[in-house]
Amino acid sequence: MSSISELYDVCWEEMRDKLRKWREENYRNSEQIVDVGEELINEHASKLGDDVWIIYEQVMIAALDCSRDDLAWSCLQELKRQFPDSHRVKRLAGMRLEALERYEDANKLYDSILQDDPTNTVTRKRKISILQAQGKSSEAIRELNEYLEQFVGDQEAWHELSELYINEHDYAKAAFCLEELMMTNPHNHLYCEQYAEVKYTQGGLENLELARKYFAQALKLNNRNMRALFGLYMSASHIAASPKVSAKVKKDNVKYAAWATSQISRAYQVRGTQECTLGVFPVRLEDSCHTLLMEPPLL
Amino acid sequence: MGEVELSCLAYAKMYLHASQFPRCSVNGLLLSSSPAGAAVCITDCVPLLHSHLSLAPITQLALTQVDAWCSQTQQRIVGYYQANACVSDSSPTPCALKIAEKIFEQCNNTVLLMIDGEKMFPSCRVPPIVMYERKDARWALKDKHAIMLRQWEETCSIVNQLFSSGDQTLLVDFDSHLDDITKDWTNQKLNAKIMELISPANGNV
């Protein structure tokens, strides 16, 4: 079986740089990380210098993701040998126990870290992940809320909490979490768009208008966000179809919806290819808007 | 309610969809190109989402788009499938029940299919699916004997073949289409590949 360096004609430096890029941008392409990382470690460990330790950590976590316990174990051994008293390595050992579904043992390990260092946020979040893995959503939500009272600036935690609330259909609380995220990340179009989706799901005229505004905001921040474009079309169409709005509001929303339709059609013409159902889409949106308008927001 | 037959094409794509996003809940719609009758023949499926399954806008959009596509291609939406992120829990979520109810308004033989993640491994002898049907105003487990997967062994080997040639990455769901609209959510290419693999088994040339 050919090696990565043979298959892709890359040298070890390029492989190392690729791993760094994936690490820095927080990609979870675990199969690739395992392929590239395993070869790098096996063939070129001596050339990596101090980078080797962070690569061991990265490869170990990816290996757990791919059920490669053999690889995870050997990486862990190297790290234990080099950093025998490290909390960070202990936490990795805990993650391996989680991957083996030995949650009680993992929790014991994490509790011992937290006894020494109660502010170890990564370890606290691992304990919450265990609750999620066990399907204990309400406990996970409770713990995450307590965590956020202490660590108010943790974006990752706010986002995780919004996801948990969405899964529990608690849209009001999900919206609150997304509001926190939008405040601290005003230029992030994804948060705007997700917030708009939550508002749309909550339903009712006020929420639909808010949804439309935030879909529009998301588009201002990124005019290629297709979800925001469709969301704008759908919320404006529902508002225009509502018997409770004034003639002016109706007229404005019909205009917004028409604008959205034209933008959608243009996007498909410019970027669509022959393989995609190009013929279906722009035409069908106008035809199907009749059914769309007859239905209130679904869920 | 009568028998339900699940085609190799539909099964393979559902399986690939769940495998492509092992950390997420995924869902999709089950389609039939056969006329309505006592038995339901699920001939194809459309993978929909792998994130925020319980948010309305994209689900609603996807339902109308698939509906429109179905009327153009003489197919009907006859059911819904879902695979939960939490592998040990294959029971229908409130979101699954709501969407299935919606489909039931148009199709009284609606099938609700949950994928059982714990049974998704290569050597498993049993299809990793649990089916529900509408009975007495609730969703009840369907009798396993009324579910048919023709040529189950061939279906398994076709799925394994797709994995070994890396073809599972060809699958596009509606979510991925919205991320990149040049991707085809009707999966024409993948369908053709799967049909090629199926034909020798059926003796059709």
Fold of B4-196: Cytidine Deaminase; domain 2 (3.40.140)
Query: Residue range B120-141: average pLDDT?
Result: 87
Using DSSP, state whether A154 is helix, strand or coil: coil
Query: Of A198, A234, A268, which has the smallest distance from its Cβ to B60's Cβ?
Result: A234
Query: Do A287 and B68 lie within an 8 Å CB cutoff?
Result: yes
Do B49 and B14 meet the contact criterion of CB atoms below 8 Å apart?
no
Q: Name the minimum distance, in Å, from the CA of B54 to any CA of chain A.
A: 7
Query: Do B184 and A288 lie within an 8 Å CB cutoff?
Result: no
Kindly state the DSSP code that residue A9 receives in the 8-state scheme: T
* CA A90 distance to own-chain centroid: 26
Token pair for A184: 């601290």
B95 part of contact set with chain A, CB < 8 Å: yes
List the alpha helices (DSSP H) in chain A.
4-8, 12-24, 30-44, 51-65, 69-82, 87-99, 103-116, 121-133, 137-150, 155-167, 171-184, 189-202, 205-221, 226-241, 247-271, 280-294
Residue A82 to residue B119: CA distance in whole angstroms: 40
Mean pLDDT lowest for which of A43-47, A62-66, A164-168, A285-289? A285-289
Query: Do B102 and A298 lie within an 8 Å CB cutoff?
Result: yes
pLDDT digits (tens, 9 = 90+) for B33-53: 998 887 899 999 999 999 999
B72 part of contact set with chain A, CB < 8 Å: yes
The strand order across the sheet containing B147-148 reads: B40-42, B4-6, B147-148
Query: Do A297 and B57 lie within an 8 Å CB cutoff?
Result: yes
pLDDT above 80 for A22: yes
Do A70 and A59 meet the contact criterion of CB atoms below 8 Å apart?
no
Kindly state the DSSP code that residue B170 receives in the 8-state scheme: G
pLDDT above 50 for A292: no
pLDDT above 60 for A296: no
Instruction: Please name the residue of chain B whose CA is at the shortest distance from the CA of residue A131.
Output: B86
Where exactly are the structural domains of chain B? 4-196
Compute the residue count for chain B: 205
pLDDT band with cut points at 50, 70 and 90 for residue A139? very high
- Phi and psi at B43, nearest 5°, equal -100, -20
A287 part of contact set with chain B, CB < 8 Å: yes
Range from A4-13, A31-40, A101-110 that averages highest in pLDDT? A101-110
- Biggest CA–CA distance in chain B, Å, is 45
Q: Which of A65, A195, A299 to mutate to test the interface with B (most CBs of B within 10 A)?
A: A299
Distances (CA, A) of A232 to A218, A235, A236: 10, 5, 6
Query: Residue range A177-193: average pLDDT?
Result: 96
pLDDT above 80 for B106: yes
Residue A232 to residue A193: CA distance in whole angstroms: 10
Question: Which residues between 197 and 256 in chain A have a beta carbon less than 8 angstroms from any beta carbon of chain B?
Answer: 197-198, 200-201, 203, 211, 226-227, 230-231, 234-235
Residue B27 to residue B13: CA distance in whole angstroms: 11
User: Which residues in chain A are contacts of B192 at CB distance < 8 A?
Assistant: none
